Chain A
Amino acid sequence: MTALDTPAEDLARPAVPAVRITGARRVFAAELAPVRALRGVHFEVGPGEFVAVMGPSGCGKSTLLNVIAGLDTVDEGTVEVAGERVDGRDQDWLARFRRHRIGFVFQFFNLLDGVSALDNLVLPGVLGGMGRRAAESRGRDLLDILGLGDRTAQLPSSLSGGQRQRLAIARALVNRPGLLLADEPTGALDSEGGAEVLELFRRLHEDGQTIVMVTHSPEVAAGADRAVRMRDGRVVDDGATATGPTAAGSDAAESGAAGGPS
């Protein structure tokens, strides 16, 4: 019924996790000594799950999201998204994979500065294979839903921080990705803006969207199904205690599969 709730994935088979990472290692060359950003990470996200990733600065959270999105590669280990291996793929495969499977929300928005809010949504839509008109109407719908319906022609630089982040989220959703990745989406926002974004994520989650969100804030993390803790490039607590991923996930998956394309 809404534009939000239509992941392209077939999530009806709970057996396939949305994300599965095993033994992932990533070392960066640095001037003094190599930095081990990931040191054997095991990590799994069920379909329709909303997972928060927490941990001190520099522990590898962003790197983890980047390797899931194929923006970075692992040196060792495997990365699977919805049952498909992402590691070892070439750049172009990854680019196409991102178009439909991944929506990425960056900490600092990363919007295209020179083009209007609407065009920021149209460009990825067209990249993903939509026609210009289809992408435009999809963009307008998303902007309406995210409360930016009256800002279509404005440039990102003239929007507030919260508005910009909502625009970035809208952009991540244009191609109905199976997986939404968000790297500290509330980090650059004040508490009001943060609450706005979190509320949006909750609605998305209710509609069945699988979400992995990095955050520093315990309040924000509390909104997720489960919170994964990282330290020094490892997952130290995968948070699989309170709410089991399977129950919530499969419910959401069914509702997601039921909500047809808008």
Chain B
Amino acid sequence: MTFTALWLRLELRRRWRSLVVLALLVALAGTAVLASVAGARRGDTAVDRLVARTSPADITVLPNQHGFDWDRIRALPEVEALTTFVISSFQIEGVPDNSTGFAVADDANMRTIERPIVLQGRLADQARDDEVVVSAHFPGAFHKGVGDYLTIRLFTPAQVDTYVTGADPGAPAGPSIRARIVGVVRSPWYHDNVRDQGSVAVSAALYLNHRANFVGSTDQIYLNALVRLKGGEKTIPEFRADLARVSGRTDIDIWDNAELERHATRVNTFEGDCLLGFAGAALIAALFLVGQSVLRYTSATVADLQTLRGVGLGNRQALAAASAGPVIAALLGSLLGAAGAVLVSRWMPIGAAALYEPSPGFDVDWLVLGAGLVLTPLLALAGSVASAWLALASAQNRTAPRRSAVAVATARAGLPVPVVVGTRFALEPGRGRTAVPVRPALLGAVIGVLGVLAAFTFAAAVADAAANPARFGQTHQLESFLGLNSTDFGKVDPVLARIAADPAVTAVNNARIAVAESGDTSITTYTVDPVGGKPLSVVTVSGRLPQAADQIMLAPTSARALHAEVGSWVTLTGAARARREFTVTGIGFVPEGSHNDYDAGAWATTDGYRALFGTTFKFHLAEIALRPGSVTAAMTQRLQHEAAPLTGGQSIGLQQVTAPQQLAEIQDVQTLPLFLGGFLLLLAAGAVGHALATAVRRRRHDVAVLRALGMTRRQSRLVVVVQATVLALVGLVFGIPLGLALGRTLWRQVADSTPLAYHPPLALLTLLLAGPVALLLANLLAAWPGHRAARLHVGQTLRAE
């Protein structure tokens, strides 16, 4: 023990820089891994924790009936709390309607139900109509925060009467109220979605003090309600029964709010899984790159200790002495890493979970940090003991050192001495006291390039998918709703023909949609029916579209459910129990609809469809694709205008297609692989830098000899530059193809499981820049060790060795 302590003192004095670098590497890795694991855990539980703290409504009850008697509902045994809100509107200057929120009609809101977390400021006084609170996105989107004022404009009772009839009431002409934003709040009901601008929640007093401006002169206004049930979601059936009994209605719409929360949790879990994936990749890279630094460090120590073995140093003492430094560094590094993770927690959780986080800001996850603090030094201990043991074993093994064919070839080629020596330093470990393991540094360079390339390739794929609804099979931009339940809204064909004739329109598909069954699986079936010779391009995963009545293309998830592949036969049951056999000609995506996701359903020919459903349909819908860049409101209006004469002046419904939810989820984690790439770059730079510094120190004798033989300072610096360059080149040669392959393989996994159309990603910029950046970085890293090599005091070094 005393020897270990003494040795450690010497080490700390001699090699504190190496140990500091090691500690910093551990700290960096620790921060990345701990922060992302803690962040993933935090994101997973964000919704649950918010729900636990805010007494949220379990259901939203929508009778849409004026004069509905809420007091009787409030008195039902299942109901714990209830607050009503007004289906009527008001405006706030400079804030669009979808951000103004509803006016609440009683002060139970935010008191006994949906009592929000206050992120900033305080809750509004429900008795004051001039106080409002906002959700978290609002201050950023509208540049108004706590202490700022908003102007609320109410309609006159006469305007409300106009509004109730469905006509346009014009700009509000009633009273206007200057209301102060007193707080920023969050609860499941008062939360933001990923792309929301945030919203305002007004006080109950606004409605209570200005009732006429909401209900008009006829009192024709609906109050709906948020309800919190004593037994939670489980008691919805009892509530529904009592609601029917009390109200005499069975058709009242009840939304299950937990359903929304479950969706949010699903998204958060997906994002959390991405973070865990990030943590895993970071951990593996860190184990590897930090591991090689530990290896190099201990093998250097063991080489020094060899001389002491002659005077009686035992194996165990040597092992203890060799691992003491790295363990101390790991201990320090893990403390720094834990501190870093706490700092980073400020930005956690990421993505959608951040919108539910009840206590944003710094967070200390003791379980994760504790595990990190215990495991990191243990890993360092295991790693350094193992590598010291290996070094001891190899020191006793007197085989000739490995020669590198490349290094020999550079010498044979008669290249300048610094090139020959630099290549040798990079590729040959040397032997004896000056031996420096080179494989870890080489692998470090490869892993660095590989990791960065894989991460950026993956990121390119994510960016591509996030920007391309076509990856989710959505190749049309507009949708026209033409009929429901086997009845068209008008004469459809001439309208579609007219739209298809527009030069900006590239495809029109006239889809009849109905749901077929195969066993337990429902298959929403679309007709392939191009209008005007402009077929919709369907994104196929494999095979092709159906061309005959007994052919069908299945969407990937449906194909999986039916265990079908291209060439399989499937039996579908349509309307009136019509059963038909189809051969699967392809797997591909379908339009996302109200009855199906883009990955579930099927395409059939019009004949095939007719065989199943006759002339019936659930929906009649046209998918319309436009030339890139022409999807605008003006364009939509133009098409509507063109169609108007054919529909007798009635405008047809043309909606812009919204991107599938999965796209938003993927967009949300878009930055993760970039962080991973940056992290790997830092780690690799640290490892290679450490390798160069170690090599110069361990091989200063060789450098000094060469200097004595007449090598100039510039040439000595060049030796290190060549060494760094060779490391970078090896990293590039192996790292680029492997990284590209890894990035693509990972993306294929994601594409298969999402699912989405796999499109081989190519991070062109990264590919182009990888070489120059790696070489530049290597040379920057070589600067300091090169300087040391050039500054070497030859006489002194030679007399010392």
Contact = CB atoms under 8 A, between A and B. Distances in A.
Interface of A: 62, 66, 69, 71-72, 91-92, 95-100, 104, 106, 108, 110-115, 119, 122-124, 126-128, 131-133, 155, 157, 171, 175
Contacts of A72: 795
A112 B795 contact: no
Contacts of B713: 91-92, 95
Contacts of A157: 431-432
A139 to B, nearest CB: 12
Interface string B415-436: 0110011001000101110100
A17 B758 CA distance: 82
Interface string B20-50: 0000000000000000000000000000000
A50 to B, nearest CB: 22
A113 B434 contact: yes
A133 B401 contact: no
B167 interface: no
A71 B798 contact: yes
Contacts of B412: 132
A150 to B, nearest CB: 17
Contacts of A128: 710
A97 B710 CA distance: 7
Given A114-B431, A157-B432, A98 B708 contact: yes
B711 A95 contact: yes
Closest 10 CB pairs of A and B: A99-B710, A132-B414, A71-B795, A124-B709, A114-B430, A95-B712, A72-B795, A92-B712, A98-B710, A66-B795
Contacts of A71: 708, 794-795, 798
B416 A123 contact: no
Nearest to A154: B400
B711 A127 contact: yes
Contact of B709 (A62, A133, A171): A171
A62 B430 CA distance: 29
Contacts of B704: 110
A34 B688 CA distance: 40
A119 B412 CA distance: 10
A99 B710 CA distance: 5
A126 B421 CA distance: 12
9 contacts: A91-B713, A96-B710, A98-B709, A100-B710, A106-B798, A110-B798, A114-B702, A126-B417, A155-B431
Nearest to A119: B411
Given A62-B799, A127-B715, 16 more contacts: A71-B708, A91-B712, A91-B713, A95-B707, A98-B710, A104-B708, A110-B701, A112-B705, A113-B432, A114-B431, A122-B411, A123-B421, A126-B414, A127-B417, A127-B710, A127-B711
B426 to A, nearest CB: 12
Secondary structure at the B interface, as helix, strand, loop or mixed, is helix
Interface string B696-740: 000001101111111111110000000000000000000000000
Contact of A123 (B413, B420, B701, B714): B420
Nearest to A110: B705
B98 to A, nearest CB: 73
B420 A155 contact: no
A114 B428 contact: yes
A113 B431 contact: yes
Q: How large is the interface on B (under 10, 10 to 19, 20 to 34, 35 or more residues)?
A: 35 or more
Nearest to A120: B705
Nearest to A130: B414
Interface of B: 400-401, 411-414, 416-417, 420-421, 424, 428, 430-432, 434, 701-702, 704-715, 794-795, 798-799, 801
B414 A131 contact: yes
Contact of B414 (A62, A97, A99, A133): A133
A45 B720 CA distance: 39
B728 to A, nearest CB: 22
Nearest to A104: B708
Contacts of A95: 707, 710-713, 715
A92 B714 contact: yes
Contacts of A106: 708, 798
A66 B708 CA distance: 10
A127 B706 contact: yes
Contacts of A171: 709
Between B401, B412, B414, the greatest number of chain A beta carbons within 10 A of the residue's beta carbon is seen for: B414
A81 to B, nearest CB: 14
Given A92-B714, A112-B702, A114-B428, A69 B420 contact: no
A69 B708 contact: yes
Contacts of A91: 712-713
A111 B430 CA distance: 13
B421 to A, nearest CB: 7
B417 A123 contact: yes
A104 B432 CA distance: 24
A95 B430 CA distance: 25
A105 to B, nearest CB: 11
Nearest to A133: B414
A124 B708 CA distance: 10
Contacts of B709: 98-99, 104, 123-124, 127, 171
Between B416, B707, B711, B715, the greatest number of chain A beta carbons within 10 A of the residue's beta carbon is seen for: B711
Nearest to B791: A91
B424 A115 contact: yes
A239 to B, nearest CB: 25
Contacts of B794: 71
Between A66, A91, A155, A157, the greatest number of chain B beta carbons within 10 A of the residue's beta carbon is seen for: A91
Contacts of B708: 69, 71, 98, 104, 106, 110
A95 B704 CA distance: 11
A123 B715 CA distance: 13
A157 B435 CA distance: 13
B401 A114 contact: yes
